[in-house]
Structure 1
Amino acid sequence: MRKTAATHDTGRIPGRPGPRAVGGTGSASAPVGPDLVHTAMPGAGPAPATAAPDHDPVPTAHRGAGPTPGPGERPTVKLRDAGPEEPPRYAPEWLELREAPDGAARAHELIDPLRIRLANLPGRSSDGLVIHDLGCGTGSMGRWLAPRLDGPQHWILHDRDPYLLHFAAVASPRAAADGSRVTVETRRGDVARLTPDALAGASLVTASALLDVLTREEIETLVDACTGAGCPALLTLSVVGKVELTPSDPLDAEIAEAFNAHQRRTELLGPDALTVACEAFAARGATVRVHPSPWQLGPADSALTAQWLRGWVGAAVEQRPDLREPAERYLRERLAACEAGELRVVVHHSDLLALTRPMDGATS
């Protein structure tokens, strides 16, 4: 795996914040972390989003706010040898902007089958669930999911950015759906070295907006770790390469095509990642469920939509420099419509629930 940096997220989709560092232990290395252990603190939450500074008409993606990494960078996790001097790649303001739309988009239809599986885990301890959140960012997945599951929970948050890890820990939920206690610890690590041993004792693996910024090899590593540990995986908000804007513009399709090509650069899977992950889980005997989870952005989401647009168009122009001139006009008009409350955007994603075979051989 190349030792390059990550920015972005969109993912995965335009303008999604990128995967945050994911992690566990390497097969031949000591555990990465935990470097902090916290119980959740009340009253903590993401800082208010700040207005984006003025940029050129078609900027390259904002760090932490858009889909485009800088030259020579990958929108995936930094390897463990990254120096402590490296600045954070994902702005908490961007992650906070997208938290509510992410929560609204995630497929609630997958929660009941997940609850049933968790309630019937072989050897489930009275101590409750142990949940690993890969690339946790500011911890929005935990804030969304923990209150939807019953029983005590211990969340292990993985990310390469210690600032985001601290943020996620102090802003984590305190109680499960039935009022049981939720605790959290943080770990720094790399998804490329995730192993079944790193997930020993795990009840569930989660991630959000992660798959589409991984390579095939990295997805295989993740799937091997989950199936080897016998724990289910809930992987949400993977982009699928489809965007709808209303009103439409003749340049929509060309920008979307260029953006999707940008997401597939340097061996990343982009919008193909969901299919690859489904096939990989199924090949290892897991039962796989997929459900749409689109962002549906309207006038109330204008701040997020504007940031997403800048990242989406910026990635397209980086992929196809010949689009710069028409894209400048396009972006100006789209941003004006967004500010006027006249633009609606649907960014299509899908959520994946993989019910792996438990370690005792029981069926999913």
Structure 2
Amino acid sequence: MGEFSAQWLALREPVDHAARSARVRDVLLADLRKRHGEQLSGLSILDLGCGSGSNLRAIAPHLGGQQRWCLVDYDDALLDAARLALKAWAHVVVSETTDSLQIMYGDRDIEITFRSADLSGDLQTVLAWPADLVSASALFDLVSRQWVDRFCDALRTPLYAVLSFDGQMQWEPEHPFDQTVRQAFCMHQATDKGFGAALGPSSGRYLCDALKQRAFEVTIDKSPWQIEDLPSAFHDMLIDGIAHAVLETGSLGEADMDTWLAYHRRASLCLIGHDDLYASVP
């Protein structure tokens, strides 16, 4: 679950897209129309921790005919994966250079720049790049309170932050170890992910409060993964990742963890909670 391989990101993308809060997205679109006109054309979007470009594929079809995206990640392999995935998603590849791509998706003309940056150290520089919207998916549960405070102090544009883990985790049918696994995984999520002690499941609440303290108008809503088509490669990779994290905490031994894994590979429902958030600038 915390592994950012191209394979994992590809498996989770349809689940992510289905989970996104329509209410938060509608607030985002309404606010952008007030600021930029009904057509929403010509917008520049800065996507932080872009992974394989899933955020662009989720949002771009709702925006105007002309779009400029800057995809930022620290992992060059993920930037390469984003380029390949976007070329496969596009209806037409118009042009391509070493650090950019222009595609058509329907009548959307999308210019994409790929930028490598370490958000733990280059945050101020990255947020100074021109943008009408900053977006991020599954990022804020990885960062620290101090990083969020610096981010909010520097933010000058609306923010669309989706799929921050909120600590909710359940399966049907239940297993006696479920609560122990959930607590251990939440504990693991709060360890250092490269930005200091991570906010983990408290990230949505903390980000919301930090933005409100700086006069942003914030809309927040739940966006849970609801996985019913089981078993699946996505679910197998999800519970394997959870088990790996739990074993690192020492909360369960390998034999108990194997029992839990075998039981939930036959689950009929898996629900993993997230928060989606939109913040409008004062």
Identify whether the pair has TM-score above 0.5, normalized to the shorter chain.
yes
The match for 1:327 is: 257
Given the alignment, which residue of 67, 70, 87 partners 1:156? 70
Measured on the aligned residues, the alpha-carbon RMSD in Å equals 2.3
**Contact 1:129 1:151 survives alignment (8 Å):** no
**CA-to-aligned-CA distance 1:313-333 (integer Å, 9 cap, x gap):** 221121125433322211122
State the distance in 2 between where 1:158 and 1:258 align. Answer: 31
The match for 2:208 is: 278
Secondary structure of 1:242's match? strand
The match for 1:293 is: 223
**CA-to-aligned-CA distance 1:132-184 (integer Å, 9 cap, x gap):** 1101111011011101112311000001112221231343353468x231110
Within 5 Å, give how 1:240-279 maps onto structure 2.
Answer: 240-266=166-192, 267-279=197-209
Q: Does 1:199 align with 2:131?
A: no
**Contact 1:141 1:208 survives alignment (8 Å):** yes
Question: So what's the TM-score if we normalise by structure 2?
Answer: 0.86
State the distance in 2 between where 1:99 and 1:281 align. Answer: 27
State the distance in 2 between where 1:300 and 1:218 align. Answer: 37
For residue 219 of structure 1, report the CA deviation from its aligned partner. 1.2
Task: Structure 1: state its 5+ residue gaps.
Answer: 1-14, 18-63, 65-89, 358-364
- In terms of fraction of residues, the more strand-rich structure is 2
Q: Does 1:103 align with 2:32?
A: no
The verdict on how the C-alpha distance between 1:197 and 1:297 changes in structure 2, with shifts beyond 3 A counting, is closer
**CA-to-aligned-CA distance 1:28-62 (integer Å, 9 cap, x gap):** xxxxxxxxxxxxxxxxxxxxxxxxxxxxxxxxxxx
The match for 2:117 is: 189
**Contact 2:40 2:64 survives alignment (8 Å):** no
The match for 1:312 is: 242
State the distance in 1 between where 2:116 and 2:53 align. Answer: 14
**Contact 1:160 1:189 survives alignment (8 Å):** yes
Identity of aligned residues (%): 32
State the distance in 1 between where 2:276 and 2:221 align. Answer: 5
Amino acid at match of 1:210: L
**Contact 2:33 2:40 survives alignment (8 Å):** no
Question: So what's the TM-score if we normalise by structure 1?
Answer: 0.67
Q: Does 1:213 align with 2:213?
A: no
- In terms of fraction of residues, the more helix-rich structure is 2
Amino acid at match of 1:225: A
Task: Structure 2: state its 5+ residue gaps.
Answer: 91-102
For residue 284 of structure 1, report the CA deviation from its aligned partner. 0.6
